[in-house]
Amino acid sequence: MEDISKYDSRPALEQSLSSLEDFRWLTTERRKAHYERGERLTEWVVLGRFFLDSCGNIGEYISENIPVEVFPRLPIIMTIDEFWEYVNSQSHSGSGKDISISIRYGGAIPSKSSVCSVCGRLDCIESNPHRKK
Ligand SMILES: [Zn+2]
């Protein structure tokens, strides 16, 4: 019996942001959980840039509506339900931002450029100007 909290919980996701290797480990474990053991995973939006689906796939938001760029105060880790609740609450408050979202799958996600070149963290605010606001 696998401990799903290691790859499908908020603490596990927070932990995984410390390096590209940790994050890739987590996404590999999620893929195995689904494709080898048939587990259905929680869907997460991470850093407002990445989408982890219930089958262990990872996608990257593309085009002009990258969530963290539209909503700079977006929490770092959200379930998909929390994410849509947040987006809808922002729209009702009059920001008027309708968000239509495109996601790309495949290739190296996240790429090395998503990682801070100094500390190696994925959530480093030095490498992500949107987080400083
Ligand atoms: Zn850094």
Residue 25 Cα to ligand 1 midpoint, Å, equals 20
Q: What are the distances in angstroms from CA 9 to CA 17, 58, 101? A: 13, 16, 24
pLDDT tens digits along 42-77:
999 999 999 999 999 999 999 878 999 889 899 999
Distance 95 CA to ligand 1 centre (A): 31
- Alpha helix locations (H) across 1-133? 10-16, 20-35, 67-70, 80-90
Q: What is the pTM of this model?
A: 0.90
Secondary structure class of 104 (helix, strand, coil): strand
CA of 116 to the centre of ligand 1 (A): 5
Write the pLDDT tens digit of every residue in 122-132: 999 888 877 77
